[in-house]
Structures are given as C-alpha cells and as structure tokens.
Structure 1
C-alpha cells in the first residue's frame, strides 16, 4: 500500500512560538521525517526584553533544537519577530518575511496555526502565511493545513471567532511517544497535569482525535486548500 503522505513533498510547519509546532504537529513531523520528507520548521517569534530575559530566550532556543533533532526536522528557521507583540509589526513586514521564507524553502505543504486561535500572534501569522502562499506563478504551496494548539485553539469565543472543525486526521500512533519526548525537551514550557500543556493532556487529545476516526492516536487538521 502506498503511504498516503507521499504526496506531501517538502513540508514547512510555521510556529508562532517555540513549542507550537510540537503541540500541533509533533507526531506528523516525526512520521513525515521518518518517511524521508524534508520537514522544515519556522519559529516566527522570539522573546525580547523586558518581557523575556535573554538567558530564558536562549534556553528555549536550545530546547527547540533538541526537540527538532529528535523529530528529524531538516532545518529550523528563526524569524525573530517579537513574541506577543506582532500587532506592532507592520503587516507588510510579516508578509514579506513569509514570502522570503517560502521562496527559500519552496514548500509543497504548509502546516499553519489556526486563524481562530485566541492568541493574536497566531492569527497574524496565519494571515501573513496565506498572503505569501497565494497561487501566483507556478511555484507555491499546493496543500495548506491549519493545526490546533492546546490552550490557544480551544479558548476562543464560541460562535464569535472561527471554530476549529477538523476534516483531516493523520495517524500518529507510531510516533506519539516521539512527539511526547520532543515536548519534554521544552522543559520551560511543560506543565503538570491537569494543565493543558502537559504530556498527559497531549496524549489524551491524540487519543480522542484518533478514536474519532478509529485509530489509536491522531493529529487533527483543517484543510485550507489543496490543488491536485
């Protein structure tokens, strides 16, 4: 049987902040990398003083490197926009950053934060990625998915903001433990259960998403666009 993920080609996961890529796509990243795909991760922001201390920012970057190495990420791109302050960055500048990134990576498939997330950074990155991914010319991403991020996607106002209703499920039962190990690399971000950002909560969500489609574990996505 042909692996249904073979059509994914070169993959780019765009994370507003370090660890979003693991929360939303960690199992999928591991599965794609194991299948021989080039998987890139772009971390859009970094902490800046006085909100974040320099030593804390460096620690998180090291945690990201360890997590990405564990998953088999081909390359990590740090875009270094200010974390939790993207509303102060001109939208044209965010658009240009995404366009430059896409031109360098030439992704076939994009995984993006969901545009209805409660965190404004997530919303703005989603919008700028859509601008950069517009089908101009012959080179552009042909497959776009939005992923869910615990404590961001599920806390927007129901019936006011867009609701995450997944229509694509990727089986991660063979890579779930690697996802959890990668999240454990983010020691500064892990929390004790019943906090949502805990390994137990991630496992519970993967189990629920898997059972939805009669699988042992899955990650869920919203298909934004696909060109075949």
Structure 2
C-alpha cells in the first residue's frame, strides 16, 4: 500500500457537510496519517426558513467533530445557499471556486461527480473544474470525482453520466475512522436499509475493495492527471 505522499496538498470539495466523508473520508484519513495537508471546503450552508438556525449550527458542529476524527488539516465553510446554488449566477459560483483554488493551490483536488442527482453537486463539479483549468503551473495536477451514496446512484443510467470508477484507494486501515466520522453526523445517520446508514456505507467500501482485492476501498473517476 502506497503512502499517498505524491498527492501533495489536497483540497476536497463538499457541496454539503458529510458529502466529503461519504465520498472520501477514508482517503482523507490516509492522507492525514501520511502527514499530508488536507483541506476540506464545504460549499453551502442551510438558510432560513428552509433550515432552522439550530439545525445549521448542529450540522456545523458535527462537521468539526467528524474532521477531527479524520485528521483534516483545515475545514472551511463558504456559506453559499444550500439546495439553491442554481439560483446564483454561474459567474458568482465560479468566482468562489476560483478564489478558493487560487488561494490554496492544491496539488490534488477531489470533487463530487457531475452525474449526481443533486444540482448543488453538479454545480460544484462544474465550478471546481472551471477554477481548476490548467492555465498555469499552479493548477491541480490531479483531479478525482468521488461517489456519494443517495446522490451518485440516483440519476438515470444510460441517460445521464454513469459513475464508472477507474481509481481505487485502499481504506482497509481507515474504514473504521470513516464510519466513526460519519457517525458524528447524528443529524444525517439513518437506519439500514437507508443508504446513509453505517451498514450501507461499510458495504459499499467492502464491495469497492473486493473489486480490487482489498479489504475496503473508495472508488473515484480520474478527471485529469498531469505528470
């Protein structure tokens, strides 16, 4: 198992709190264990009246706890409107991503998958890719799209983009931390057979791992890599 040090500074884009844990929590923990800088950026925040202030504060606190468990170097909140990114001009969304990526200058970038059913996920993918265009030597050297349970698999196979992973990262040693981190999101954990149950999350990791003869893995689609 490689130490992932070649990933360098890593930025993980999360449309909402918990997406990054579902998609690459085990990888975040592995990078942290390798001494790599990992910054997680949560793009949106619930706005009243759709989300109560108490609920928003609860979720923000849960995210802090989850990232302490994973060992994330830094957690950022951009506070764009949750479930309403489509109400903002594209130029405004892209500017937030451009400022973020320009400031951090990550070597590796993780983004949600363009085929996710949630518009916030789709727009986060597009905004991140616009910001990460290889127009300078500081552009991210590698970009991966991750899968999110109950988002990536809920669109229409054969009609909308399909998640067909071609990169697998072994999380056998960090799966327990991923599950513990998601457990911190008490507002989001559901009972099985809901997909956002601990059983479902572990099951997906085991299936992804078994497909490459590992105990557990997270799967990604490589968007671009610059050698």
| TM-score, scaled relative to structure 1 | 0.98
| Partner-residue secondary structure (3-state), 1:169 | strand
CA displacement 1:46-96 (0-9 Å, x = unmatched): 000110000100000000000001101111110100000000011101110
Q: Could you tell me whether the CA contact under 8 Å between 2:39 and 2:75 is conserved in 1?
A: yes
Match of 1:221 in 2: 220
* TM-superposed deviation, 1:4: 5.3
Match of 1:191 in 2: 190
Match of 1:88 in 2: 87
CA displacement 1:96-125 (0-9 Å, x = unmatched): 000110112110000000000000110000
Note the 1:123-162 alignment, pairs <5 A: 123-162=122-161
Q: Distance in 1 between matches of 2:224 and 2:29?
A: 23
Match of 2:14 in 1: 15
In structure 2, stretches of 5+ residues that fail to align are none
Number of residue pairs aligned between Structure 1 and Structure 2 = 227
Match of 1:103 in 2: 102
In structure 1, stretches of 5+ residues that fail to align are none
After superposition, the CA RMSD in angstroms is 0.8
Runs of 4+ in structure 1 displaced over 6 angstroms? none
Match of 1:54 in 2: 53
| TM-score, scaled relative to structure 2 | 0.99
